[in-house]
Structure 1
Amino acid sequence: MRTCVFVLLLMPSFIFAQQNRQPDAAQIKLKLKKLNVLASVLYMAAHPDDENTRIITYLSNDYLTTTGYLSLTRGDGGQNLIGPEIRDQLGLIRTQELLAARRIDGGQQFFTRANDFGFSKSADETFRIWNKDEVLSDVVAVFRQYQPDVIITRFPPDERAGHGHHTASAILAQEAFDLAANKDIYADQVAQFGTWQPKRLYTNTGRWWNTTINENTPGIITLRVGEYSTLLGQSYTEIAAISRSQHKSQGFGSSGTRGDQPEFLEYMKGARAEKNILEGINTTWSRVKGGDKIQPLVTKAIAEFDGEKPSATVKILLLLRKEIQKLEPGIWKTRKLAETEQLIADCLGLFMDVTADKYYVAPGQQVTTSLELVNRSGIDVTVNRIQASDLGIDSTLSLALKNNIPANIRYIKAVRKSKPYSSPYWLTENHGVGLFTVTDKSLIGKPENDPAIQFTLDVTIAGEALTIVRPLRYKWTDPAKGEQARPFEIVPPVFVNANSSVVIFSDASPKDITITVTSASDGRVSGTLRLDLPQGWKTQPESIPFELTERGQEQTKTFQLYPSSKEETTVVKAVAVIGNESFDHSFQTISYDHIPTQTLLPKAETKVVRMDLKKDGKIIGYIRGAGDDIPAALRYMGYTVLEMKNEEVNLLNLKQMDAVVLGVRAINTNKRMGYIMPALLEYVKAGGTLVVQYNTNGDLTTKNFAPYPLELSRDRVTEEDAEVKILKPDHPLVNIPNKITAKDFDGWVQERGLYFPNKWDNNFEAILSMNDKGEKPKESSLLVARYGEGYYIYTSLSFFRELPEGVSGAYKLFANIVSLNTRRAAVPEVRKKRKNKQG
């Protein structure tokens, strides 16, 4: 008897599904039919949500091809509609949203090391920032590993794609198409993966760049993706809409459509097809040497499958498995053996789950693990061995699993002391603007880490030996949501978390820095806490002792931090010293219902900003939009921030505020904005200041969001170092209480601003001018209008990115903006001075 691992169970896209769901009879039947199709397609684009879930769903569930999506980036540079996470944290959310989508549409997921640095206006800029050759090598590696017969790109390889990343994804696809078969290109990969030549490359065309295309256009391949699956009880477009709707952070909830829906594919490279994208590709078992004996067995399994008794199919699946094992090594042997073994478990109703009594432990610490094993069939299943090397588990047994009789096994073991911490592999090391640092090249292409702890179970099924792999998870029951699960993690013995991500020093006075140290260990842990300081900074005291006696216990310690005498933005790091070891990781989690809980272990760093910051006013009202950390930044500046609910927005409450700020995309996301905007404008008219941050020009909940006509566009300035000119040097916004100069726009990150207005009433004054290289100046990043006794300010500057990064100039300018209504008396004098100068 020979053994083989259930490879598909190691696929990251399936590992961390929040519930261990047994497929129903229709899903099992679909998997059986898929066994008889040996063809693969790789869809390729730049970002999460770029993929066409209609095509992925259709190919995976109708053509029954092995279908994957290669996203060059993790979407780190986008905006977040569901919370405050941006950059690396947003990329982690969008990674998991893609995996959630693939669990629905049946695809697999891949990535490169490319970092989404924000909107790019050209492929040349994109390649310069990414380091083209590095990302190209990743694409070639994915082609060689996955061995797709067909490549489909989402975008054309030119400026019609509308985004430099989009264009770059198509260019890289075409170059990799030619290079993947060349043994002299990236030779280190060849030894591991070999070479590969896809059959053809097509572009999923017919969008904004080719609106006249249809099924009668010469050379176009049409996919009828709207077909109805009687087996699944849904059209492929309905399934695709559910998949698409997993992109919640981008607001891409989608309604399912029914009826005929064409998608068009346009030839780019390789062998042309006339009508079918798989033309000329052998999709049968005859493409594999020795496969002639397998096809009849699969056909028989499909024909004889009984949805009310799936276990009757196990016998023929075991025969099929034996024949696949005889094949020479290759991608199709690996894939189909894994699919077959998964089907065996599915048809048995075999439930094997491994859970922990806690969701994290430190290396060397004990964890209690529980195995729940249930064979829901009359076929003999025996567990012969259970292993988990990271826990020192290696048990030989002979446990017969009788029909529907649960077996439970419990271990109390310590995690291997040398076990590394759990953290997203692409975030473990510091990274640059364009590329993540991944030292282990074998991880490139993978969507996420392998599970921290895995159990392997050697079993015998009807006399045949198999090995099943299961991840260790943590499960609990939520009173409202029912059974929930999250990945099990390996973490440091203590965490050190700063209570503020940014601290502002407006003068030489010290400020309190509060650090919380938390135990992730059982028993007593003691040591000292200190701050690693940049030159010129000091703390009182230099260190503070701590003692924690049980897991989860925390202590809060406060240092007085004295700033440097020079203006700068720098970093202070908290360190816990226990014996001869130092620990400097914080503990962060990201938790949303549509994705598994994510754990991050970033360095325990606080940005500290020494600058001469002045402000006027005390109380700021804030109305949330899509999610940002502006309220925290305002509190760092010394303001009291009252986050207002819609029902609290009335003139009586508003008059208590020195200024009111709308969160980013509030007019896109707050469905009540049309009803509360009259009160906000009345507040302005009565003498208040209203600050409206950027919104997109689509899906506005009201068009009446300004006192005078104002139209939004898609204009933006993406170069974070683009020159900024001050158009109104005497205006209070750039003078009071902080003098703003061009130097205050140094050190900005990702972009200057986005979705600038392109038309505005003469009552608005444009304060700044900026533009990307080779473009005309844009003057609408900061507009201010007098309305009644107050001021209305619309700004498309990316304060939501700059303030969390501790950009001092952004803080000064934002302080001026929210301080405007406290200095109304100064404004006429400034205007008079400016008028005299002009005269």
Structure 2
Amino acid sequence: SDVVWAIRKYQPDIIINRFDHNSAGETHGHHTSSAILSHRAFDLAGRRDVYPEQLQWVAPWQPERLYFNTSWWFYGSQEAFDQADKSNMLSMDVGVYYPVLGKSNTEIAAESRSMHKCQGMGNTLSRGTQLEYLEVLKGPKPTDPHDPFAGINTTWTRLAGGAPIGERIAKIDREFRYEKPGASVPALLDVCRMIEQLPDGHWKQVKLAEVKEVIGACLALYLEAVADDYSATPGQSVQLSLEAINRSGVEVSLRSVEYLPAGQDSLLELPLANNASLTWKQTVTIPSDAHYTSPYWLNQPWELGMYTVPDQTLRGLPETPRLLRVRFHLTVAGQPLSLDRDVVYKRTDPVEGETYRPFEVLPPVFVNLEEKVYVYANAAPKPVRVVVKAGRAKAEGTVRLKTPPGWRVEPDSIAFSLALKGQEQVLSFELYPPLEQSEGEIHALAQLPEGAYGQELVLIEYDHIPTQSVLRRSQARAVKLDLHKAGNRVAYIMGAGDEIPASLEQIGYEVSVLSEREINLANLKKYDAVILGVRAYNTVDQLKFAQPELFQYVEEGGTMIVQYNTTWRMQFPADQIAPYPLQLSRDRVTVEDAPVSFLLPGHEVLNHPNKIGPEDFQGWVQERGLYFPDQWDEAHFQAVLSCHDPGETPKDGGLLVAQYGKGYYIYTGYSWFRQLPAGVPGAFRLFTNLISIGKTERP
């Protein structure tokens, strides 16, 4: 329904799938799913009997064509693609250069991909001709083999009464003067009036909004509303600093300003002289029932892979619409024009200069639990610290913890007093686990005179995107384990970054995260086990020099545990990451509850010091594992476990154990980096067995 909604809302003439709907299991599941959903929704979006509840906001819409942006990757090699039948394909040169921008499509695309920073997807810019191929999946094949829109009317004549508008816009384009854009404003105002006379419909609303913004740009009109702080709470007053400036020779006046959503209106009737800044201040009040500025899809409890969004109009939006807006009512060359601007916050950074962040509506207090998981290996209590942060000045109240049955917390509540907005206070409770194995959720709740608040604040703050506040229910997992372990001191070589060291410390291990200089034999001998973090061989340059010493550490009796790596951007040949032949693959098991088979049920890692059973693979999150080896030296490596996604072949390479000299080398693609921070009991028990291999149990 969400894909049908998107098609009906945006009314595309063509749809291009980036992935193949017939390649299930060959790409990431969500990639293939997007293509499957698009392929199905194409035939449904135009039918009134499909999701009729949507029709109060949108109309049925049937796109003309569905394409698949295929490439050599889907054929296995460039040679195979060169020989493929392309009679049902279009080819397009996407390396087109834009003189106005001074860049080509491919350069812009690489810059965009380099913004995908969380996955290290930075790209080198490329230039020149680059052909992309579109395979026709549905709809008639275009007559022009290089134009995906061929035969589709994309001009103004597609709308009743639209032909004169198209002619007028074409004339504006021909006569546009870059050095004097304001000269086009009178004609653009005529276009605005003509669009307003069209029958109501999708394109009328879209084009009217676009033309109004074009008029504002041609006027070099600067309209801004800046709050005196980056956030406020419902019912709170906010002072706005407003500015309006017309940097053109066109006659413009500011008739009035409307402050939304309250609807306050300031009648001004002030001329905006050329390049003369008009500034003023206005105090507005946030409605007491205002919704918080947080991702709308996180407002309701969600299920695995599916969010609950009751408001249909929000679905598909990239972010939550801003609550506080200002509508500037102008008169331009005698014609009314209204433009909306979101309220923002800005400050002067001593290095970056003028910086902006969106204005947000947030709770008066936040309660953040310092840890997301509290894991107990014995009955001793642990401190649970709650960071209370004020979302406004003068926030006073108490905090208490809600615990699962059988767990006990002391004290029952703790008072806090925060005089200043942004001030924090750390409150410490003692949490006592039950004697038996148990798991559940703990929640922090702050009680203020006006109500209870149980949200934590997560601030997303990076240079390349706007600062965003995410509100989530303040909760953490509490896990009491039936756990035994051998060995105590662990060295951890961090790779791409994970939280396993902190997870191991929670169950009593002494963990040292080694710097690159500390990866040497003399230092490694101090530890019972050395663990390499996820993608360590992809990210740690020093490993290509330290590998012989790591192997010598194992040979002399140490345990080396290597988590998943990829062959992409490997720091040295992938066939050298293990002391015996081992080949990495792209094999993965994405179903987190996929059945796990014990290939060697009597193996030490399944029996000592914790007896591992099927129940230890319950409650796993997101996936079983990824990038499993698909070939290994069977004379030395023992494959201990096997699992697979539905319809797939067994994947036996997720846990490989080899004795090397007096010690053990273990390669494991199972997703410990997800399971341990999530507090999955069975994952802790099995990972502890890996560390304990060849050692005597300690109390």
* Corresponding residue of 1:259: 128
527 and 784 in structure 1: CA distance in 2 versus 1, 3 angstrom threshold: same
C-alpha distance 187-653 of structure 1, shift in aligned 2 (>3 A): same
Kept after mapping to 2: 8 A contact 1:219/1:274: no
Which residue identity does 2:44 align to in structure 1? L
Report how far residue 616 of structure 1 moved.
Answer: 3.7
Of Structure 1 and Structure 2, the greater strand share is in 2
C-alpha spacing 1:676/1:463, structure 2 compared with 1 (3 Å): farther
Query: Partners of 1:483 and 1:653 in 2: how far apart?
Result: 48
Mapped to 1, the partners of 2:490 and 2:356 lie a distance apart of 40
Give the counterpart letter for 1:318 in structure 2: L
Q: 3-state SS of the aligned residue for 2:531? A: strand
C-alpha distance in 2 between matches for 1:284 and 1:815? 66
Q: 1:658 to 1:268 in 2, by over 3 A?
A: same
Matches within 5 A, 1:163-182: 163=27, 164-182=29-47
Q: Give the 3-state SS of the residue equivalent to 1:208 in structure 2.
A: helix
Task: Give the Å deviation of 1:613.
Answer: 2.3
1:756 positional shift? 0.6
Aligned ranges 1:555-634 → 2 under 5 Å: 555-579=425-449, 581-634=451-504
Amino acid at match of 1:205: T
Amino acid at match of 1:661: I
Counterpart-to-counterpart distance in 1, 2:36 and 2:457 = 39
Q: Tell me, in whole angstroms, the C-alpha distance in 2 between the residues paired with 1:238 and 1:221.
A: 22
Give the letter for the 1:790 counterpart: G
Instruction: Quote the residue 1:139 is aligned against.
Output: 3
Instruction: Indicate which of 633, 644, 647 corresponds to 1:771.
Output: 644
User: Which residue of structure 1 aligns with residue 565 of structure 2?
Assistant: 695
Q: Which residue of 1 aligns with 2:621?
A: 749
Distance 1:815 1:314, change over 3 A: same
Provide the rounded CA distance (Å) in 1 between the counterparts of 2:306 and 2:590.
Answer: 18
Identity %: 45
Q: Sort the Cα spacing of 1:371 and 1:655 in 2 relative to 1 into closer, same or farther, 3 A.
A: farther
TM-score, normalised to structure 1, is 0.78
1:212 is paired with a residue of what secondary structure? helix
Worse-matched range after superposition: 407-416 or 284-293:
407-416
8 Å CA contact retained: 1:629, 1:800: yes
Please state if 1:208 is matched with 2:208: no
Q: Secondary structure at the match of 2:282?
A: strand
2:582 matches 1:710: yes
Once the two structures are superposed, residues 432-484 of structure 1 have per-residue CA deviations (whole angstroms, 9 ceiling, x without a partner) of 11311111111112121111322211122222211111112222333443433
Deviation readout 1:514-544 (Å, 9 max, x if unpaired): 1121111222x22221111222222121112
Alignment correspondent of 1:124 = none
Q: Distance in 2 between matches of 1:144 and 1:214?
A: 38
- SS of residue matched to 2:465: coil
SS at match of 1:602: strand
State yes or no: 1:803 paired with 2:668.
no
Q: Rate the CA distance shift 1:562–1:215 in 2: closer, same or farther, 3 A.
A: closer
Given that 2:555 and 2:662 are in contact with CA atoms closer than 8 Å, whether structure 1 keeps it comes out as yes
The reply to whether residue 452 of structure 1 matches residue 323 of structure 2 is yes
**Maintained 8 Å contact 2:486/2:695:** no
For structure 2, the 5+ residue unaligned runs are none
The gaps in structure 1 that reach 5 residues or longer are 1-136, 828-839
- 1:302–1:435 distance in 2 versus 1, CA, 3 Å: same
Change in CA separation of 1:169 and 1:708 when aligned onto 2, cut-off 3 Å:
same
- After TM superposition, list the pairs within 5 Å mapping 1:25-104 onto structure 2: none
Q: Which of 104, 122, 129 is the matching residue for 1:235?
A: 104
Asked if the contact 2:143–2:151 (Cα under 8 Å) also holds between the matched residues in 1, the reply is no
TM-score by length of 2: 0.93
Change (3 A) 1:778 1:637: same
- Give the Cα–Cα distance (whole angstroms) in 2 for the partners of residues 506 and 216 of structure 1: 62
Residue aligning to 2:413: 543
Q: Which residue of 1 aligns with 2:87?
A: 218
| 1:373/1:406 contact within 8 Å kept | yes
Whether 1:786 aligns to 2:656 is no
Q: Distance in 2 between matches of 1:256 and 1:304?
A: 34
The one-letter code sitting in structure 1 at the alignment partner of 2:653 is S
> What corresponds to 1:333 in structure 2?
204
Q: Is the 8 A contact 2:496 2:535 kept in 1?
A: yes
1:716 alignment partner AA: R
Q: CA deviation at 1:495?
A: 0.6
Checking the alignment, whether the CA contact within 8 Å between 1:390 and 1:419 is kept in structure 2 is no
CA distance in 1, matches of 2:487, 2:352: 44
Secondary structure (helix, strand or coil) at the match of 2:109 reads helix
What's the counterpart of residue 514 of structure 2? 644
Distance 2:273 2:116 in 1: 42
Q: Give, in angstroms, the shift of residue 377 of structure 1.
A: 1.9
Correspondences of 1:335-734 after superposition (within 5 Å):
335-390=206-261, 393-523=264-394, 525-579=395-449, 581-703=451-573, 704-734=576-606
**Does the 8 Å contact 2:487/2:695 carry over to 1?**
no
Task: Using the TM superposition, name which of 350-359 and 596-605 deviates more.
Answer: 350-359
Query: How far apart are 1:561 and its partner, in Å?
Result: 1.3
Q: CA deviation at 1:686?
A: 4.0
Q: Does the 8 Å contact 1:161/1:209 carry over to 2?
A: no
Number of corresponding residues: 688
| C-alpha separation in 2, matches of 1:639 and 1:457 | 62
Q: Distance in 1 between matches of 2:637 and 2:85?
A: 51
Contact 2:400 2:413 in 1 (8 A): yes
AA paired with 2:234? P
Check 1:646–1:368 CA distance in 2 against 1; reply closer, same or farther (3 A cut): farther
Partner Cα distance (2:612, 2:243) in 1: 65
Structure with bigger helix share is: 1
What residue is the counterpart of 1:199 in the other structure?
A: 64
**Residue 150 of structure 1 pairs with residue 11 of structure 2:** no
Q: Deviations along 1:325-382, whole A, 9 cap, x unmatched?
A: 2211222222222221111111222222222232222212233322233322222332
Taking the aligned partners of 1:752 and 1:766, their CA distance within structure 2 comes to 16
Mapped contact 1:392–1:416 kept (Cα < 8 A): no
CA root-mean-square deviation:
2.4
> Counterpart of 1:601 in 2: which secondary structure?
strand
SS at 1:527 equivalent:
strand
